[in-house]
């Protein structure tokens, strides 16, 4: 049913665009019910401060027009002005004249040197401003005038009332008139483009990448627009650490990140322990898969892909070099046997070293029975060409029948261990060929039901899904892929730290495959336990992008120590304001208001609340 919505009219704007009446006086303009005088900026300081345009343009009850005309040919004229100022200083009759001329010559010379050496663009700027008020209130008109003039005085810019030129100045300000040469002649001043750019809030007090997308607002409400795939300086990867207490904005930020990256063509993989990302995945046309064996959601642990290859130019450290040589020498099967060793240890921590070695030999024999050897080109294999858990169980049973075998008791134990994964309740998760359609641009693994199973099953499936995602992230080095690991502390198993070390290694190496990993958690402490600290701390410290939301207690202490936060930054996190946090990009730490438009919350399936730092948002 069509709903009637109340439309709020902006009468000031309407009057300016389609005025009921338009009258020009000597020193003022009347536009409908609005009256004001137009001023032009005619003198600028030798050096302006950062954000100077933001200051003069943000005045309420005033319209400001800033026009910039790029013209690199002006450099010669600027160079000539240096000579003129020096001559003026030489012929000065007073100390004041000499001082002013000398200072002007030095500043002009500095500008010429900077523009020439840095190959900067140069041009001319023209600024017009019109304080506005209702024409009946003369006192209010004067107050608005004073306020606007004060903003310019703060920035040492002198204004001139455009007496007898109000009509031409109005036309110069209006988007529906051509340039007014008379006004340009009076107001145009030479200025480097960098000075103009530095005057805007997003260039001075914000953080803006060339291809950045909306991130939030900084402490001065300056725009932050980041490109997570930007490289250079201390930005060497596209990994994220998103930390904070539940309800402070973590998941809402991640959903915003998912939406923006999807729109840029990035493929999104999500491991979702709380079932929070189903709606946004569906809205983006992706797949939501039940990680406990739902339809189309099985990843066969015995299936593997070709080992990703790196160019020699990509090798930057000893660990990666060893890994690359290892891959080239023993191939995909040998690498996958290492993966299976960790998987089965997570599933059955009671496996002895002897049983683990026997299992490895049986696996090699099993693959051989299916025609898969050390040198098989697995890129030509289909999912149905691989063995499944019931095939492994049958081979173990055959081994256990040999009563003369010195390992019979171990084989009997292995048969007992693997009956459940092949025929029992766990078979619904792992026994069968892979059924995941890997062509979707957004895949969300809903692992919510895993929270109700034993830690062994949960840890093994998390590892299984992570290795599947890693294969997807590395199969095409030219495709951007972002893996989201929400509530990543649930993936930690101190008994089998190899799983976390795998994630650490993936985080370190994915930069070479145009991929990134987002590790989100409300518990920093879990990552810093002694048993897994080497891998856990690296997972939080390696990412070039850290987003910290409110927290408390030991988590706050560890967060402050890990990221070397100042006392004001610690106090900010301690307040736990919804939608307010700290963004760390490389070495830059910035207070951030994650102020998102209303339509995004409906799209994400996130409710709104009154209050909080951004005034109306609530985190999922």
Residue-wise pLDDT for 356-373, tens only, equals 999 999 999 999 999 999
Tokens in use for 526?
Answer: 């879990």
Nearest to 393 by CA among 433, 424, 434: 424
Res. 301 pLDDT band, cuts 50 70 90: very high
In the predicted structure, residue 331 carries a pLDDT above the cut 90: no
Q: Are 559 and 567 a contacting pair, CB within 8 Å?
A: no
**Would you tell me the crossing angle of helices 455-474 and 498-509 to the nearest 10 degrees?**
20
DSSP 519: E
Residue 11 buriedness (CB in 10 A; 0-12 / 13-18 / 19+): exposed
Q: How many CB atoms lie within 10 A of CB 188?
A: 17
Mean pLDDT, the chain, rounded, equals 83
Give the pLDDT score at 101.
81
- State the average pLDDT over residues 71-93: 81
Checking if the pLDDT of 160 tops 80, the result is: yes
Q: How far apart are CA 303 and CA 322, in angstroms?
A: 24
User: Which CATH number is 307-433 given?
Assistant: 1.10.8.730
Least confident residue range of 232-241, 310-319, 424-433:
310-319
Tokens 């932050």 sit on residue = 224
Three-state DSSP class for residue 448: helix
The CATH superfamily assigned to 205-299+442-462+480-620 is: P-loop containing nucleotide triphosphate hydrolases (3.40.50.300)
The secondary element (H helix, E strand) that includes residue 161 is strand 158-161
CA–CA gap between residue 143 and residue 391 (Å, rounded): 86
The answer, yes or no, to whether residue 165 has pLDDT greater than 50, is yes
Q: CA 368 to CA 51: how far, in whole Å?
A: 69
- Residue 203 pLDDT: 44
In the chain, % of residues over pLDDT 90: 39
Residue 310 has pLDDT above 50, yes or no: no
pLDDT band with cut points at 50, 70 and 90 for residue 8: low
CA 246-251-256 angle, to 5 degrees, is 155
Residues 187/126, Cβ–Cβ less than 8 Å: yes
pLDDT band of 314, cuts 50, 70, 90: very low
Q: What is the pLDDT of residue 608?
A: 59
Specify the higher pLDDT residue, 311 or 151: 151
Residues 6+ apart with CB under 8 A from 268: 258, 261, 262, 284, 286, 441, 442, 443, 481, 482, 484
Supply the pLDDT for residue 439.
85
Of 324, 400, 326, 332, nearest to 362 by C-alpha is: 400
DSSP state of 145: H
Instruction: With a cut of 90, say whether residue 47 has pLDDT above it.
Output: no
Lowest mean pLDDT among 103-107, 151-155, 404-408, 476-480: 103-107
Confidence grade of residue 11 (pLDDT, cut at 50, 70, 90): low
Two tokens at 347? 């599933």
**322 burial type by CB count under 10 A (0-12 exposed, 13-18 middle, 19+ buried):** exposed
Confidence grade of residue 5 (pLDDT, cut at 50, 70, 90): low
419: which strand partners? none
Of residues 469 and 220, the one with the higher pLDDT is: 469
**Helix (DSSP H) and strand (DSSP E) numbers for the chain:** 22, 21
Q: What is the mean pLDDT of residues 127-143?
A: 82
Percent of the chain with pLDDT over 70: 87
**3-class DSSP state of 236:** coil
Task: Tell me the per-residue pLDDT of 445-472, one tens digit each, with 9 for 90 and over.
Answer: 999 888 888 888 988 998 899 999 998 9
What confidence tens digit (pLDDT) does each residue in 406-418 have? 999 999 999 999 9
Rounded to an integer, what distance in angstroms lies between the CA atom of residue 160 and that of residue 255?
50
Predicted pLDDT of residue 297:
86
pLDDT at 223 over 90: no
Distance CA 278, CA 108 (A): 60
Q: Whose structure tokens read 């030509």?
A: 380
Residue 10 above 80 pLDDT? no
Q: How far is CA 205 from CA 193, 222, 352, 592, in A?
A: 17, 6, 59, 12
In terms of pLDDT, which residue wins out, 198 or 90? 90
- Report the run of H or E that residue 421 belongs to, with start and end: helix 408-422
Residue 516, helix vs strand vs coil: strand
Q: Which of 104-108, 260-264, 440-444 has the lowest mean pLDDT?
A: 104-108
Give the helix ranges, DSSP H, for 403-490: 408-422, 427-430, 455-474
pLDDT value for 385 = 96
What is the full DSSP assignment across 522-586?
A: S-SGGGG-TTTHHHHHHHHHS-SEEEE----HHHHHHHHHHHT--HHHHHHHHHT-TTEEEEEET
């Amino acid at each position: 049913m069509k709903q009637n919505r109340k439309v709020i009219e902006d009468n000031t704007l309407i009057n300016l665009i389609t005025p009921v009446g338009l009258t020009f006086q000597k020193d003022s303009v009347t536009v409908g019910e609005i009256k004001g005088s137009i001023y032009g900026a005619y003198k600028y300081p030798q050096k302006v401060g950062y954000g100077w345009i933001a200051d003069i343009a943000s005045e309420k009850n005033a319209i400001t027009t800033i026009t910039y005309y790029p013209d690199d040919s002006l450099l010669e004229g600027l160079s000539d002005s240096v000579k003129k100022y020096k001559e003026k200083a030489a012929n000065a009759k007073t100390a004041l004249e000499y001082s002013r001329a000398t200072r002007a010559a030095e500043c002009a010379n500095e500008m010429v040197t900077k523009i020439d050496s840095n190959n900067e663009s140069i041009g001319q700027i023209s600024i017009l401003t019109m304080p506005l008020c209702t024409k009946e209130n003369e006192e209010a008109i004067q107050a608005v005038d004073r306020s606007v003039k004060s903003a310019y005085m703060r920035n040492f810019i002198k204004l001139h009332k455009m007496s007898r030129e109000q009509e031409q100045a109005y036309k110069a300000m209006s988007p529906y008139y051509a340039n007014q040469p008379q006004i340009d002649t009076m107001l145009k001043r030479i200025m480097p483009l960098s000075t103009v750019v530095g005057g805007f809030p997003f260039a001075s007090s914000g953080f803006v990448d060339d291809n950045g997308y909306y991130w939030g607002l900084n402490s001065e409400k300056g725009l932050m627009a980041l490109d997570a795939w930007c490289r250079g300086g201390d930005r060497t990867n596209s990994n994220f650490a998103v930390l904070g207490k539940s309800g402070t904005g973590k998941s809402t930020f991640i959903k915003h990140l998912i939406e923006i990256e999807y729109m840029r063509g990035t493929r999104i993989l999500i491991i979702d322990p709380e079932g929070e990302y189903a709606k946004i995945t569906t809205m983006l046309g992706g797949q939501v898969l039940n990680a406990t064996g739902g339809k189309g959601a099985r990843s066969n642990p015995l299936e593997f892909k070709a080992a990703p290859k790196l160019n020699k130019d990509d090798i930057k450290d000893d660990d990666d070099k060893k890994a690359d040589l290892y891959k080239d020498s023993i191939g995909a099967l040998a690498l996958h046997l290492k993966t299976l060793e960790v998987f089965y240890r997570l599933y059955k921590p009671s496996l002895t070293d002897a049983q683990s070695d026997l299992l490895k030999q049986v696996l090699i024999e099993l693959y051989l029975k299916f025609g898969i050897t050390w040198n098989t080109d697995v890129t030509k294999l289909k999912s149905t060409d691989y063995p499944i858990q019931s095939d492994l169980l049958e081979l173990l049973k055959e081994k256990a029948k040999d009563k003369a075998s010195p390992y019979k008791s171990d084989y009997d134990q292995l048969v007992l261990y693997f009956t459940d994964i092949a025929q029992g309740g766990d078979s619904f998760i792992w026994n069968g060929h892979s059924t995941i359609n890997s062509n979707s641009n957004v895949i969300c693994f809903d692992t919510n039901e895993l929270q109700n199973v034993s830690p062994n099953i949960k840890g093994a499936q998390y590892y299984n899904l992570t290795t599947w995602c890693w294969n997807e992230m590395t199969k095409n080095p030219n495709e951007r892929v972002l893996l989201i690991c929400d509530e990543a502390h649930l993936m930690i198993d101190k008994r089998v730290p190899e799983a976390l070390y795998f994630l650490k290694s993936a985080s370190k190496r994915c930069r070479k495959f145009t991929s990134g990993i987002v590790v989100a958690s409300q518990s920093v402490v879990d990552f810093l336990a002694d048993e897994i600290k080497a891998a856990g701390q690296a997972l939080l410290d390696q990412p070039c992008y850290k987003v910290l939301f409110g927290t408390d207690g030991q988590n706050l202490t560890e967060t402050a120590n890990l990221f070397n936060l100042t006392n004001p930054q610690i106090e900010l996190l301690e307040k736990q304001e919804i939608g307010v946090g700290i963004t760390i990009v490389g070495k830059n730490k910035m207070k951030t208001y994650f102020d998102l438009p209303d339509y995004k919350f409906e799209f994400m399936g996130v409710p709104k609340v009154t209050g909080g730092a951004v005034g109306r948002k609530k985190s999922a």
